[in-house]
Structure 1
Amino acid sequence: MIRTWLDPFPLVAILRGLRPSDALDVGRALADACFRVIEVPMNSPEPLESIRLLSSALGDNFLIGAGTVMSVEQVAQIAAAGGRLIVMPHADTVVIAEAKRAGMYCVPGVATPTEAFSAIQAGADAIKLFPAEQLGPAALKAWRAVIPRDLVVLPVGGIAPESMAPYIAAGANGFGLGSALYVPGRSADDIGRRARAFARAWKEGSQGIHT
């Protein structure tokens, strides 16, 4: 279950634009801040090489995979590189099914209840509320009244430490973190500081809600 990875620390690092030459320093900075789930979007430079490096260096205690996955062919490439996680901006049920056939975790992006239920029926392990900044906590609260209570929902898009609490109160189980955490050229020390700020915000926002 994907909760095995997310329950201890439910923040996903989205490393869009990561280069293989920076992968290990960035990965170690995130690991030091307790992150255990990392995705390298497929529209990054040489994403499969970064996934290969991260998977090899960080080992089985980390869930490494790809974001912005758009095709079944990419699923096979990611698996061959050692990735075990498929994250998508959309809810293509064919890609979801292929990821599950490959024995991988899959988190598709959804923006409507119809997309959410289609993704769930196709085998999604969790859903990505995307773009969260447009949908907002009110939409998540309404969704939580109808979608399975045990389904992991991760808001993604425009999330900053100071914006997390309303989503947590609305039922978020964690978050995917993009440019507020990582952009190309940001130092590993800076990434580490930002990662720890997100970790503090999750702990403070979820206290008494997620146990």
Structure 2
Amino acid sequence: MSLAPWLDACPIVAILRGVQPEEVEAIASALIHEGLNIIEVPLNSPRPLESIRRLHSAFAERALVGAGTVTTEDEVAAIVRAGAKLMVTPHCDPDLVRAARARGLIACPGFMTPAEAFALLAAGADALKLFPAEAVSPAVVKALLAVLPRGTAILPVGGMSAETIPAWKAAGAAGFGVGSSLYAPGDSPAAVGAKARALRSALGLG
């Protein structure tokens, strides 16, 4: 399993922090309708494993379902049982990357420094989450790509919106984790769909 084809189709990871299991399928359906097929449920959301189970059951063939804010190996095992195919962490932990890869998950761990990036790639990371991206600038992505192995996928997360994404894209980012500017607790599926269209437009995807 690879992250690349999903990013090629649409390089947005929809982060549904705070989503409720009872609404997650309707929200995901709106996202998928707009072409956003990578959906992450952070584990600090209400009953996140239930949301992941529902997404896997409803959209396993149409979406890459992931879990975010993963911080322990027990959580890695739990998200696999729930049906997640993607693990996202907020921090650099090569052991978590190895645990995820051993279970067949795509691993996109968080990093901030070159040392962390190289350590995570050595552990088998499929892509790297630059977090919190609002603490740096797009120039950081350009500089990192000059020294990291060719083809390394960097996904900035934090502060991503229709207004900020173009500069990160120009710097070479392979994808973008988008949270509050795409989904906030209480948003209707229609509202999320409208935000998704704005993001696609910012990426020149129509």
Q: CA deviation at 1:61?
A: 2.6
Q: Which residue of 1 aligns with 2:149?
A: 148
Alignment of 1:93-108 (within 5 A): 93-108=94-109
Q: Which residue of 2 aligns with 1:160?
A: 161
Residue by residue, what CA displacement relative to the aligned partner does 1:68-109 show, whole Å, maximum 9, x if unpaired?
000000011000001111000011011110000000001001
Q: CA deviation at 1:170?
A: 0.8
Q: CA deviation at 1:148?
A: 1.7
Partner AA of 1:186 in structure 2:
D
- 8 Å contact from structure 1 (residues 126, 154) kept in 2: yes
Partner AA of 1:116 in structure 2:
A
Matches of 1:7 and 1:148, distance apart in 2: 19
Query: Is 1:27 aligned to residue 28 of structure 2?
Result: yes
Matches of 2:60 and 2:45, distance apart in 1: 22
Partner AA of 2:18 in structure 1:
G
Q: Which residue of 1 aligns with 2:16?
A: 15
Partner AA of 1:99 in structure 2:
A
Q: Please report the RMSD computed on the Cα atoms of aligned residues, expressed in angstroms.
A: 1.2
Partner AA of 1:73 in structure 2:
D
Q: Which residue of 1 aligns with 2:86?
A: 85
Q: Which residue of 2 aligns with 1:38?
A: 39
- 8 Å contact from structure 1 (residues 140, 170) kept in 2: yes
Q: Which residue of 1 aligns with 2:180?
A: 179
Residue by residue, what CA displacement relative to the aligned partner does 1:19-47 show, whole Å, maximum 9, x if unpaired?
10111110101011101111000000000
Q: Which residue of 2 aligns with 1:48?
A: 49
Matches of 1:173 and 1:48, distance apart in 2: 27
Matches of 2:96 and 2:90, distance apart in 1: 11
Q: Which residue of 1 aligns with 2:7?
A: 6
Alignment of 1:63-142 (within 5 A): 63-142=64-143
Q: Which residue of 1 aligns with 2:200?
A: 199
User: Which stretch has the larger CA shift, 40-49 or 131-140?
Assistant: 131-140
Partner AA of 1:39 in structure 2:
E
Aligned residue pairs: how many? 205
Partner AA of 1:18 in structure 2:
V
> Percent identity among equivalent residues?
48
- 8 Å contact from structure 1 (residues 111, 135) kept in 2: no
Q: CA deviation at 1:49?
A: 0.3
Residue by residue, what CA displacement relative to the aligned partner does 1:120-158 show, whole Å, maximum 9, x if unpaired?
000000001111111111111111110122111111001
Structure 2, unmatched stretches of 5+, are none
SS where residue 60 of structure 1 aligns?
coil
Q: CA deviation at 1:4?
A: 1.7
Q: CA deviation at 1:59?
A: 2.1
Q: CA deviation at 1:10?
A: 1.0
Matches of 1:179 and 1:194, distance apart in 2: 10
Matches of 2:204 and 2:70, distance apart in 1: 30
SS where residue 50 of structure 2 aligns?
helix
